[in-house]
Amino acid sequence: MSSQIIPVEPFDYVVFGGTGDLAERKLLPALYHRQISGQLTEPTRIIGASRSDLDDEGYRAFAGEALSRHLKPGEFDEQEVQRFLDRLHYVSVDASSERGWDALGKLLAEAGERVRAFYLAVGPSIFGEICERIHNHGLVNDNTRIVVEKPIGRDLESARALNDTIGHAFSEDQIFRIDHYLGKETVQNLMALRFANALYEPLWNSAHIDHVQITVAESVGLEGRAGYYDRAGALRDMVQNHLLQLLCLVAMEAPTSIDAEAVRDEKLKVLRALHPINAGNASRLTVRGQYRAGASAGGAVDGYLDELGDDKSNTETFVAIKAEIENWRWAGVPFYMRTGKRMAQRVSEIVINFKPIPHSIFSEGTGQIIANQLVIRLQPDEGVKQWIMIKDPGPGGMRLRHVPLDMSFAASFGVRNPDAYERLLMDVIRCNQTLFMRRDEVEAAWQWVDPILTAWEETDHPCHGYTAGTSGPTNAIALIERDGRTWHESR
């Protein structure tokens, strides 16, 4: 079963940072897949722009190499790849000088008023300069959008400054602040699950839900991004954006429609209702960790400090937080979040833990009654499992068993699960901002995160070591077990 693909009018995608890691691993393969699906019409162009001294042919060679390295077996089709490479162009442009901007302008002018998207796949320190130069060189047409990668700032103040700079050159309806977690298939499915079924919404509140867990565990380490990561840490890199966005989608009220503004309004209310964490409660509600040498699936791995080549860094590669939402729906329902690098396995999931039944009619010998759980698995093996109690089949009398109603997407639909960037890149072209963050959301998230960062600094909050290949520091286990609960470890 496959959903219908609607081709879009020809467009130009200018990828600043077209030679970088993100473009190589994610953006080029995602656009290639959109071509295969039939969504790109002629003469759509993809224009790489960065300082490297390349011409069109050089960039096509780079992109061909990127596709052969990052597509899965069977996805590399010689003819399709050639057709894709033919639509690539390259302009050597320096964000920090006048070099290359006229050439870029000339290339874009050839296409007239067709949709034109600028993707800033560069470090945030040059977002502002690029926006200004796009504007000053008259590269904005009536159909322009700008895509801004995370991180948007490193605190509230810098996020505001960056948003101001981008806002000088572009209006809010032209700005697409990307959070690729919102493009993940299961994340979108969370909206379908909640708002296209009558079943869950009546139960989706503090009367029926005991607590919620959000886990984004990675098995990888720094992946060559030490310079960025050591200045960021897990709170800024993952919680401020991805985990808080997931929390918002779980906790928000039903929007009046799926329209961007309606959804963003509801997410914003959740962010603003988060109970502040500061120096007074950070030691009780947060845990920081940093991985030490250990093992991953591929064998022995270095600790963070060895990988970084600096034995003084106190940057956290793991964080666990107990968050609370102060509103009628969620009063008294903790949202436990955790994320870390070099964990035992790559697994991201949201677990809704329902309250236990109020009274059991079964005798002790029938087996333990376990409270219902809804497990929404983002990756790998995307799907949803609703854990329920049933009677063990057979004539042996009443024996209770805890089993999942299992809906694995791959098994149920038998289709390739598109990468989040595929959906998001095309939403930019279609000018659909529903899965992108609005300025006030980003700033509200920083408003909650900033005091945590300050508290950690002021109170010298410890960064506990954990062995690579495990599920994080033991203090994170204590964080939830103090409340008589345990982390859900995926089965």
Ligand X SMILES: O=C1O[C@H](COP(=O)(O)O)[C@@H](O)[C@H](O)[C@H]1O
Ligand Y SMILES: NC(=O)C1=CN([C@@H]2O[C@H](COP(=O)(O)OP(=O)(O)OC[C@H]3O[C@@H](n4cnc5c(N)ncnc54)[C@H](OP(=O)(O)O)[C@@H]3O)[C@@H](O)[C@H]2O)C=CC1
- CB 244, min distance to ligand X, A: 13
- CB 20, min distance to ligand Y, A: 2
The pair of structure tokens assigned to 45 is 């162009």
The pair of structure tokens assigned to 430 is 């279609």
DSSP secondary structure of 98-111: STTHHHHHHHHHTT
Per CB under 6 A, contacts with ligand X among 226-245 are: 237
Contact with ligand Y (CB under 6 A) among 12, 13, 20, 186: 20
Pairing of strands 88-92, 383-391: unpaired
Is residue 316 within the footprint of ligand X (CB under 6 A)? Answer: no
Nearer to ligand Y, 238 or 268 (CB): 238
Is residue 124 within the footprint of ligand Y (CB under 6 A)? Answer: yes
- CB 343, min distance to ligand X, A: 12
CA distance 219 to 204: 32
- Residue 52: C-alpha distances to residues 20, 61, 90, 146, 457 (Å): 10, 14, 10, 22, 39
Q: Total residues at the site for ligand Y (CB under 6 A)?
A: 22
Q: 51 among the known binding-site residues?
A: yes
Is residue 149 within the footprint of ligand X (CB under 6 A)? Answer: no
Is residue 70 within the footprint of ligand Y (CB under 6 A)? Answer: no
Which of the ranges 20-28, 297-305, 318-326, 474-482 carries the binding residues for ligand Y, by CB under 6 A? 20-28
CA distance 124 to 155: 13
Which of the ranges 120-128, 139-147, 404-412, 460-468 carries the binding residues for ligand Y, by CB under 6 A? 120-128
Number of other residues whose CB lies within 10 A of the CB of residue 483 = 12
Is residue 19 within the footprint of ligand Y (CB under 6 A)? Answer: yes
Active-site residue, 242 included: yes
- CB 95, min distance to ligand X, A: 21
Q: 13-46: b or e for each residue (b if 16 or more CB lie within 10 Å)?
A: bbbbbbbbebbbbbbbbbbbbbbbeebbeeebbb
Is residue 218 within the footprint of ligand X (CB under 6 A)? Answer: yes
Nearer to ligand Y, 120 or 252 (CB): 120
Nearer to ligand X, 86 or 223 (CB): 223
Of the CA atoms within 13 Å of residue 196, those in its CB half-sphere come to: 7
In this structure, are residues 18 and 47 in contact, taking their beta carbons and an 8 Å threshold?
yes
Nearer to ligand Y, 22 or 222 (CB): 22
Name the binder of 237 from ligand Y, ligand X, none, CB < 5-8 A by kind: ligand X
- The letter for the amino acid at 201 is E
DSSP class of residue 181?
A: G
Q: Total residues at the site for ligand X (CB under 6 A)?
A: 3
Name the binder of 210 from ligand X, ligand Y, none, CB < 5-8 A by kind: none
Task: Identify the three-state secondary structure at position 457.
Answer: helix
The beta strands (E) that lie in 293-341 are given as 294-296, 299-301, 318-323, 335-340
**69, burial (CB in 10 Å: exposed 0-12, middle 13-18, buried 19+):** exposed
- CB 218, min distance to ligand X, A: 5
Which residue out of 242, 402, 461, 488 is catalytically annotated?
242
Q: 435-466: b or e for each residue (b if 16 or more CB lie within 10 Å)?
A: bbbbbbbbbbbbbbbbbbbebbeeeebebbeb
Name the binder of 119 from ligand Y, ligand X, none, CB < 5-8 A by kind: none
Contact with ligand Y (CB under 6 A) among 28, 108, 115, 121: 121
Is residue 241 within the footprint of ligand Y (CB under 6 A)? Answer: no
Residue ranges for the known binding site for NADP(+) are 51, 150
Q: Which residues are catalytic?
A: 242
**Positions in the binding site for ligand Y (CB under 6 A):** 16-17, 19-22, 50-52, 93-96, 121-124, 126, 149-151, 228
Chain residues that interact with ligand X, rule: CB under 6 A: 180, 218, 237
